[in-house]
Structure 1
């Protein structure tokens, strides 16, 4: 009888242990305050020490995964095979994801630091009142030129058609960028939905082909640093790296009009660690963390308190922090919709084929 009681007590103890362990695991899962935070971001787009500091402060382990385009990020999240707690899409993709119900509304009661953001970077057309996103970095599309390889600096899009730059321009590969240059050179919006304007812009681009040496992507940085061309068109963040690699390079934002882009933090609808995601947003909104990130990445910060903490030369550099007058002439890419975007892509592809 004693052996039977002892055996029964042992079984009961095991059951109690398993039951208790199950309760702890369930509590951790439900709380979202421990465990893992899965971040889906562009490659090399955060100071890795900030991720370590976030974990040290909160106890939340970070699984940092990367993508190389908004489209690949969208496809992965839309398919739903992998759960991400944080993603960092660009403005037009945020609009698309909101329309398709792929994002969770933010709980602003769980977010601190929104007041640090500049008024010009919030309440944008792609997310009024920032219901779904928080600005992370911003920048522009502009012109990089080598001051030792040009007689006259190109300051506006129309300057790219100069005979001086024949076979000497590197153009970033992108339909919105290419068509946008054509449209804005003609005085039209880079979000034009008028067929005649799009055709006119494409024709304008055809006339630029003698000056284009190559249409490239990330490799544009290496080419310009190695002085393979005199002029390039690319984004401000890419330009920052080019300027660091070659002191002869200069970046300018066309004052008559260009693209103003935003990369914002969002929470995908399938997120599991929602509390941790809000904690991460608040962590990145702290001025000292936004400052460290801006210094590490080299992109423009929307955090005005952090900007004020940058060295004077950086924060007053109008190539990366343009004047209010220039900002007024910049446009954000709108979500054009599938049909109109297809027309942009088709015309741009025809331009690339024409060039060959």
Structure 2
């Protein structure tokens, strides 16, 4: 048993024995870095005859992107609550949605998702909206992220907001001529020099922008066909598809990629930190998609209390700061942004990544599921194109 776990047990026993008031209990938990939801979850079990922090049953199973958590944060949660977290990674929203629909809360407690996927999860009865006012860390969010209209269900939110960024190309100027249009990606001189993250729906939307679709996530069958043909035309220039965006850095560092076609902002700084070249971002004139993402609690989650406690834990400013320092993209936590602005090493990066401009997040073409049969049509078109 960890020291922090033992201290939490002692605090619970203090309340049960009348030696501590509830206010004193919550104050002590706050000093230990234990969020309001985690502390409340423990107290709710007092009438059940247990006096231990085992009130938070685990393990906690999360289906998540690899840039939504950090090892120090997971270790601290284990030390504080005694709950181990099992992480399963995914790359495409459609895959996470399908898996959650298949196994539900029996195997998944928390799932990550992009902006307009949240309503799809809720409409399918897969997740429970959250009362953000119950989370101490939610008070640290930018106000705009506490009131996302398309996540609202009454006074609750489908997601706990996490991060956002435009998805744009980056290029190595040692080999690539500066450009401002997606059309440059099709130049034969970049044969097998482009790397992309394998996100079929979003790549099809990107190809829709190439071919002039006005609503890239709501394309007609004819527009999907045109986007598919564009991807077929691009295929000779694609070196590989990666499963997670963190893998992009190595391709620029080792020189095998000259262009990353769908990276979020901050890649240039991450490549530089890794000793790679000074790569350049492109904001294509055709427009660009972006993500605004977060976490959802799966309906009938087997470890719901632990899920709620982890969300409050991981969204604390101190952990958000660590995540920014590693990932270098904008997040939803305003308190963390202000802390970073006080650090000379990161102050300029806060502005360069748009972290201090949260309103931009809602002006992007946000990721979402195509309506009706569109989701299957997008994925089928992508698979057919890369199989050619």
1:347/1:74 Cα in 2 relative to 1: closer, same or farther (>3 Å)? closer
Q: Deviations over 1:315-342 (max 9, x none)?
A: 0214x64967965652112222451112
Give the whole-Å Cα distance in 2 for the aligned partners of 1:325 and 1:237.
16
Conservation of the 8 A alpha-carbon contact between 2:164 and 2:361: no
Cα distance in 1 for partners of 2:326, 2:54 equals: 29
Match of 1:63 in 2: 85
The 1:282–1:202 alpha-carbon spacing in structure 2 relative to 1, beyond 3 Å, is same
State the Cα distance separating 1:230 from its structure 2 match. 1.5
Deviations 1:150-198 (A, max 9, x none): 2x22343233234553553233333223222222232522212322322
Deviation at 1:136, TM superposition (A): 1.7
Kept in 2, the 8 Å contact 1:135–1:263? The answer is yes
Equivalenced residue count is 328
- Judged with a 3 Å threshold, the aligned counterparts in structure 2 of structure 1 residues 220 and 47 are, in CA distance, closer, same or farther, namely closer
Q: Of the candidates 134, 137, 153, which is equivalent to residue 163 of structure 2?
A: 137
Residue 233 of structure 1, aligned match among 241, 245, 261: 261
Are the counterparts in 2 of residues 142 and 233 from structure 1 also a CA contact under 8 Å? yes
Whole-angstrom CA distance in 2 between matches of 1:102 and 1:87: 10
8 A contact 2:164–2:332 mirrored in 1 = yes
Structure-2 change in CA distance of 1:289 and 1:230 (3 Å):
closer
Q: Secondary structure at the match of 1:267?
A: strand
Q: Is 2:103 the counterpart of 1:79?
A: yes
2:131 maps to 107
| Residues 277 and 197 of structure 1: CA distance in aligned 2, closer, same or farther (over 3 Å) | same
In 2, Cα distance between the equivalents of 1:198 and 1:72?
20
Equivalences for 1:91-106 in 2 at 5 Å?
A: 91-106=115-130
Max Rg structure: 1
Cα deviation, 1:263-283, whole Å, max 9, x if unaligned, reads 312111122443443333223
Give, in angstroms, the shift of residue 109 of structure 1: 4.0
Give the superposed CA RMSD.
3.5
Say whether residues 1:88 and 2:112 are aligned partners. Answer: yes
Alignment deviations for residues 183-242 of structure 1 (CA, whole Å, 9 cap, x no partner): 2232522212322322333334444345x1424124654333211132121332793644
Q: Which runs of 5+ in 1 are unaligned?
A: 1-22
Counterpart for residue 290 of structure 2:
260
Secondary structure of 2:84's aligned partner: strand
What is the alpha-carbon distance in structure 2 between the residues aligned to residue 27 and residue 242 of structure 1? 53
Cα distance in 2 for partners of 1:164, 1:325 equals 38
In the TM superposition, 1:136-285 aligns within 5 A as: 136-150=162-176, 152-162=177-187, 164-185=189-210, 186=212, 188-210=214-236, 212-218=237-243, 220-236=248-264, 239=267, 241-245=270-274, 246-254=276-284, 256-285=286-315
What is the aligned partner in structure 2 of residue 290 from structure 1?
Answer: 320
Q: What secondary structure, in the 3-state scheme, does the structure 2 residue paired with 1:36 have?
A: coil
Partner residue, 2:352:
317
Change over 3 Å in CA distance of 1:174–1:247 after alignment to 2: same
SS in 2 for 1:208: helix
Secondary structure of 2:214's counterpart equals coil
What is the CA–CA distance in structure 2 between the aligned matches of 1:112 and 1:322, rounded to whole Å?
Answer: 22
Q: Does 1:331 align with 2:365?
A: yes
- Counterpart in the other structure of 2:382: 348
8 Å contact from structure 1 (residues 76, 82) kept in 2: no
Contact 1:32/1:275 (CA < 8 Å) preserved in 2?
Answer: no
- Give, in whole Å, the separation in 2 of the partners of 1:28 and 1:74: 36
Could you tell me which residue of structure 1 aligns to residue 338 of structure 2? 308
Q: 1:96 to 1:28 in 2, by over 3 A?
A: farther
Counterpart position of 1:18: none
User: In structure 1, what is the equivalent of residue 72 of structure 2?
Assistant: 49
Please, which moves more after superposition, 303-312 or 104-113?
A: 104-113
CA distance in 2, matches of 1:350, 1:156: 25
Unaligned 5+ runs, structure 2: 1-44, 341-345
